[in-house]
Amino acid sequence: MKQRHPVGNDRTKHGATETFGSHLKRAFIDGAVIVVPIATIVLLTLSVVRRLQDAAHPLVGHVVHPLIVAIAALVLIVLAFGLLVRSAPGRWVQRRMEAWIFERVPGYKLAKAFASEQILGEGDGRTIRPALATIEDGQCPAFVMDELADGRLLVFVPGSPAPMAGALYIFTADKVQILDIPVMPFVQAISSWGLGMADLLQSSLAAKPGQYDPPPSGSN
């Protein structure tokens, strides 16, 4: 007689397979968000250095290694463009290039916002602010990205160890505690599974006593 397997076991196995597949897909996306921008920048830089090295070889190859000349030329080019974009026409060109090219690279806008500690494309001085967001019975590291007209805060809760991926929430101001912490050390602590976060929180606590008082019990 043919043995029949319980339907419940099949469903459990199917659910476990779907859960594993979802975790694998999320891990791939988190990794791609980090690797793709870095790989793009590295490959582009190597390509530019190689072209500069080839151009320098017939000119100074008998005096100094072309690679040294290529790196020096790249530094000068970057410096020249940096000075150029500080002018009004340069800023216009930079905004157009970012809108047409760079912002299409996954994670570019958030990475630049983290690095410059300001919202990309905003000219009113608003900055990304490290914070602790109250979710259910605990608090989690977060970034205040913007403030709505009614006073509520747009909050990005990053994942760990991939802080470029996470979730967006809208909280009332009483659910968010702004931290007096630089953005980059905060990001590094999140990407290190929280290692170093305690020291950052302690330094902010010492600077602003009472900042980490827990929310009143029973608050929603």
- Whether residue 120 is contained in a domain is answered as no
The whole-model pTM stands at 0.52
- Whether residue 2 is contained in a domain is answered as no
- Are residues 133 and 96 located together in one domain of the fold? no
The pLDDT value recorded for residue 55 is: 83
Residue 155, H or E segment: strand 153-158
C-beta of residue 110 within 8 angstroms of C-beta of residue 41: no
Residue 125 C-beta-side C-alpha neighbours within 13 Å: 0
- Whether residue 174 is contained in a domain is answered as yes
Which residues partner with 139 through β-bridges?
134
- Evaluate if residue 109 carries a pLDDT over 70: no
* Number of domains the chain is built from: 2
- Are residues 85 and 138 located together in one domain of the fold? no
- Whether residue 49 is contained in a domain is answered as yes
The pLDDT value recorded for residue 69 is: 82
The pLDDT value recorded for residue 220 is: 46
The pLDDT value recorded for residue 175 is: 94
Q: What is the pLDDT of residues 119-178, one digit of tens each?
A: 444 444 567 889 999 998 899 999 998 899 999 999 999 988 888 788 999 999 999 999
Comparing CA positions, the residue from 129, 148, 151 lying closest to residue 211 is 129
- Are residues 92 and 143 located together in one domain of the fold? no
The pLDDT value recorded for residue 171 is: 96
- Are residues 151 and 74 located together in one domain of the fold? no
End position of a domain, from candidates 54, 75, 106 = 106
Here the CATH number for the domain that contains residue 192 is 2.30.30
- Whether residue 219 is contained in a domain is answered as no
- Whether residue 115 is contained in a domain is answered as no
Q: Which domain holds residue 50?
A: 9-106
- Are residues 46 and 97 located together in one domain of the fold? yes
- Are residues 73 and 148 located together in one domain of the fold? no
